[in-house]
Structure 1
């Protein structure tokens, strides 16, 4: 990867001193559990269970500080300069670059290679052809986004200089350089006979600008990035570790993020990770729908925990349904994606009668944006009562089809489908979360020290609909742009936030309902049932075409589920399945809430009750946990005779439903507590 001369020199210094700003820390900070060296004493209400030395702020075991505290009560605390939550293209790119300045922890809840990046087929956009231009790429992106791109930046607390720029222009302009960095890193993309990069075309693009590795682009990008990250001496991986919540405290009247509470899924223990800057790169929330191309890890964890930490969340109603997921009635779990590039290379859509139906919907035919094609397929299925339509590329030369789409060909062949001869049965499937944690042009959120990029973020690039192959590009560009502000915040935290860092370490307490605890059979069955119910409700009531009555029904369900799950979560203990359900319920409620706010049809949000776009509503939807309640939740509380199902039990013996009913019901959902109060 091409690094600047300044970064290269910084990297050479770090080999001798692995902690980020060691000299600065030793000169300006001296933190212990005592009061010596602190600008302000630690909070008197906190009993210190651990001695944390932030002089060098380097990861090492934390020893017990007080002789009066039993050693077994000391919670595990780990320290790194930078925390990265997620191991896809955004997280790995950021980690490789910020590791030139300090130690990095990459926390991922499965294998590091498991995530949406790995399954991306199409490619990465880049203006590399002389006949193409950045202006054309910008135009295609804005048209696909229904002209909602960038508007939410006006609501961010970014600098005037940063706000003056536009996310679409930034990504399209800086994208080619980021793609070439992947090439330098060793990513092997498909090339022409003359050695130049082969560029394909996808829906919504007016030019060939998609760099790809056959139909396995994401897997190749992940391979190259992961190999480099594993070889870097300043990067440490924590696989099978699920981030439960962010550690947030206040400094200067603003919330600051100082780390995360993490569940070690294999050891079944909780650990507090402390960091000077934290990047969310945990992907989207496809698992709130039953038909999704997303892997099982995509449960909206990053969006949910950021929302609980009072980060702004924007445009959650814009859920992208990919038009062509492989129809497999015997399949379970994720839906296999048939990349947009199949249509870009000449594939046509046919209904069961063999008619090419896109001629009736859009002049761009199969290369219309994804929302248009998905609704057309949805309409055909409703009209004819069919379960799928056909995607046919058999009219193209066999060798071209098999050369360009080897992965799709092999997968379909397992089902008895020869794509060079037979049409492919396809149906729409949830594919991408266009909304997310609202960020500025440097990946910054309204929570200081918390950055976000990739699918978890809402940067302003996609607007109301994502243009094909802009997702990997977004992760690359904003990961690069988040590095300098992350380093700057780390310096700020070392200089000014000693009290908060000390408190974050000393207040870690994972006993009782905050302890890791396996599911018992009763709770396991309850979680599995509610998870499937949630997914079915979202598909029926908040899917490709939406109606007000159905959205109301979805809201009734997800709010009730949110309250139930939160009560159990607060009283039972922490485990992966329960935390995932809590996060899914949180994100589903955000999606439905944003959808109900938008009284128009725009991009991916199509309302049968408001089928036209309304220029007066061409603005982003923004939700923050600080905002006053959107609903009166008292009906949900009154109609819940018991929150905890029989036989579930938990560390807290009292039924939480009575305590919940005594609380202010309208605040229960809209003003969600910080992590330590969950």
Structure 2
């Protein structure tokens, strides 16, 4: 079969390699250079290596608890049962996970995990190590690689996907194929503050919606609680807190224990909201105190973070550093079954673009790289199959409703990002969501037909923003990362 994989993070590269190695003709299309996107930026590790007293069942329990009760138990079971094979595969492909002097894999513990089961590479450069190894394999495989190509749309015929339309060198190019695997990542650029790279504009989700694919759980947006509060957003890995670092207020008090008994190791949504509220209460950024870890250990375990914090004028071995939340990961996306099939024949999805059901309302730390590897491989294996699981339903009327004629500020990407941050961010209100949705719909109604890459990205962001705000407004109760607040927004940019 001819297969197009769109995206070159861990999900896309895994899918492309598996498909190629089983005899399919594979074309890999990527928006930037091969290996771009979020994977190479990931500081955290890969969960799924079980030491004494730990087990896949315990990992599944932690995942379900973090997901606030709305994870798909079957998908979680697949994740933890397939995880060991995928980690072994990464090692076989050359990913040098950190080991002790005896060659045993070093296991770290991160928030909401009950055991140390997370492997890292290069301390805090796991994603870069994975990306480098998989890119090298992809370049040496019989895979046609098309770089610097923006996904514009999925080509459909009789309700099935049979190719992609992309923008390359300012020209629209159609490629026809037997199946498409979307691995385009998330939509972090919906928000004014995000850890995501510039290319994370929701292109795959938007294209899937236009093709009629079901989407779900877009209201569940994870905000990472500890992004360096100086300069461009730079994530300080959760593993730092796993090593003992504490979040403190301006008096040095560990305030997260006020809202959760696990303190800094509570689920991310809890910690992020606590950080936002405390910063608003005291009128200044909260701080991450890692001084108890010691300079030598910080430099050894977190070399990238150590370098960047020092470049920005902080000696985090001697003083706490300011941190703030930022949009980090989208739990929802294009609905798939356990093998990556979507509700549209011929279309598969894996990685952050997909809603497998693993993450529920709140992703457990270091499950994202694992999920991408597990379901990227499963999508490639299932690509010749037909039919869908009955639980995948047609797209609901999420995007229905008339366009109100509002006198709102004119659209710009910055205006959209700040609107989403203020009203569809960490702390939400029904009035704010309604206002945001009306504004987004008015912008969409007035938008011209895109012709440039920036305009196509803007159109994608607007469509995904509308779907996200609609989903948030449709869920009346607070759960996980979707938090309806009865107070005015506290974290306006």
Give TM-score scaled by structure 2 length. 0.92
Deviation per CA, 1:190-232: give whole Å up to 9, x if none. 1111101111110010000101111010000000000000000
Which residue pairs with 1:228 in the alignment?
137
More contact order relative to length (CA 8 Å, sep ≥ 6): 2
C-alpha distance in 2, partners of 1:432/1:562?
Answer: 24
Structure 2 partner of 1:630:
none
Q: Which of 329, 344, 362 is the aligned partner of 1:432?
A: 329
Residue 206 (structure 1) aligned with residue 114 (structure 2): yes
Q: Which one of 337, 341, 348 corresponds to residue 235 of structure 2?
A: 337
Asked if 1 retains the 8 angstrom alpha-carbon contact of 2:49 and 2:107, the reply is no
Equivalence for 2:444 = 562
Moved over 2 A (4+): 487-490
1:247-326 alignment to 2 at 5 Å? Answer: 247-250=155-158, 255-264=159-168, 267-326=169-228
1:545 paired with 2:442, answer no
- Per the TM alignment, residue 480 of structure 1 is displaced from its structure 2 partner at its CA by 1.2
SS of structure 2 residue aligned to 1:437? strand
Aligned residue for 1:103?
Answer: 25
1:577 to 442, 454, 470: 454
* Offset from partner CA, 1:251-303 (integer Å, 9 cap, x none): xxxx2110011110xx2211101111100000000001010000000000000
Would the aligned equivalents of 1:145 and 1:467 in 2 still touch at CA under 8 Å?
Answer: yes
Alignment of 1:511-530 (within 5 A): 530=412
Deviation at 1:145, TM superposition (A): 0.3
1:289-333 Cα distance to aligned partner (Å, 9 max, x none): 0100000000000001000000000000000000001111x43xx
**1:27 equivalent in structure 2:** none
Structure 1 residues 98-151: Cα deviation after superposition (integer angstroms, max 9, x where no partner): 01222211111111122000111010011331321111101100000001001x
* Correspondence list, 1:324-473, <5 A: 324-328=226-230, 330-331=231-232, 335-386=233-284, 388-473=285-370
Kindly indicate whether residue 47 of structure 2 is the aligned counterpart of residue 125 of structure 1.
yes
Which is worse superposed, 547-556 or 418-427? 418-427
What residue is the counterpart of 1:85 in the other structure?
6
CA contact (8 A) 2:5 2:27 kept: yes
Q: Counterparts of 1:453 and 1:538 in 2: how far apart (Å)?
A: 25
CA drift at 1:561: 1.2
- Which deviates further from its counterpart, 94-103 or 455-464? 94-103
d(CA) in 2 for partners of 1:243 and 1:107? Answer: 8
Structure 1 residues 368, 311: CA separation in 2 closer, same or farther (over 3 Å shift)?
Answer: same
Q: Is residue 78 of structure 2 the alignment partner of residue 166 of structure 1?
A: no
Give yes or no for contact 1:324–1:337 (8 Å, CA) kept in 2: yes
How far is the alpha carbon of 1:609 from its aligned partner?
Answer: 4.3
Which secondary structure does the structure 1 equivalent of 2:466 belong to?
helix
Which of these two proteins has the greater Rg computed from alpha carbons?
Answer: 1
- Pairwise CA RMSD of aligned residues? 1.5
Q: Give SS of 1:417's match.
A: coil
Whether the 8 Å CA contact 2:410–2:443 is kept in 1: the answer is no
Contact 1:98–1:487 under 8 Å retained in 2: no
Q: Residue 246 of structure 1 contacts residue 260 of structure 1 at CA under 8 Å; is this kept in 2?
A: yes
- Residues in 1 aligned to 2:197 and 2:250: alpha-carbon distance in whole angstroms: 29
Matched, 1:219 2:128: yes
SS of corresponding position for 1:323: strand
Measure how far apart 1:489 and its partner are: 5.3
Asked if 2 retains the 8 angstrom alpha-carbon contact of 1:277 and 1:489, the reply is no
Residue 451 of structure 1: how far off its partner (Å): 0.2
Cα distance in structure 2, aligned partners of 1:605 and 1:599: 10
> Partners of 1:488 and 1:144 in 2: how far apart?
32
CA distance in structure 2 between the aligned counterparts of 1:425 and 1:111, rounded to whole angstroms: 33
Deviation at 1:345, TM superposition (A): 0.5
The answer to whether the 8 A contact 2:222-2:330 is kept is yes
Per-residue CA deviation, residues 75-96 of structure 1 (Å, 9 max, x unaligned), is xxxxxx1101100000000100
Cα separation, 1, equivalents of 2:177 and 2:120? 35
Rounded Cα–Cα distance in structure 2 between residues aligned with 1:248 and 1:106: 19
The Cα shift of 1:529 comes to 5.8
Cα distance between partner residues in 2 of 1:488 and 1:543: 39
Q: Deviations over 1:452-501 (max 9, x none)?
A: 010000001000100000000000101111122213359xxxxxxxxxxx
Whether the 8 Å contact between 2:245 and 2:288 is mirrored in structure 1 is yes
Contact 1:276–1:489 under 8 Å retained in 2: no
What is the aligned length? Answer: 464
State which of 54, 61, 69 in structure 2 corresponds to 1:139: 61
Specify the SS of the correspondent of 1:395: helix
2: distance between equivalents of 1:326 and 1:601? 27
Unaligned runs of 5+ in 2: 388-408, 488-493
| Equivalent in the alignment of 2:87 | 179
In 2, the alpha carbon distance for the partners of 1:105 and 1:336 equals: 33
Equivalent residue for 2:396?
Answer: none
**CA distance in 2: counterparts of 1:124 and 1:560, whole angstroms:** 42
Q: Deviations over 1:135-183 (max 9, x none)?
A: 1101100000001001xxxxxxxxxxxxxx7000110111011001000
After superposition, the C-alpha distances for 1:476-528 in whole angstroms (9 at most, x for unaligned) are: 101111122213359xxxxxxxxxxxxxxxxxxxxxxxxxxxxxxxxxxxx99
Cα distance in 1 for partners of 2:385, 2:425 equals 41
Deviates more, 1:206-215 or 1:389-398: 389-398
Contact 1:127 1:172 in 2 (8 A): no
Q: 2-side partners of 1:528 and 1:370: how far apart?
A: 34
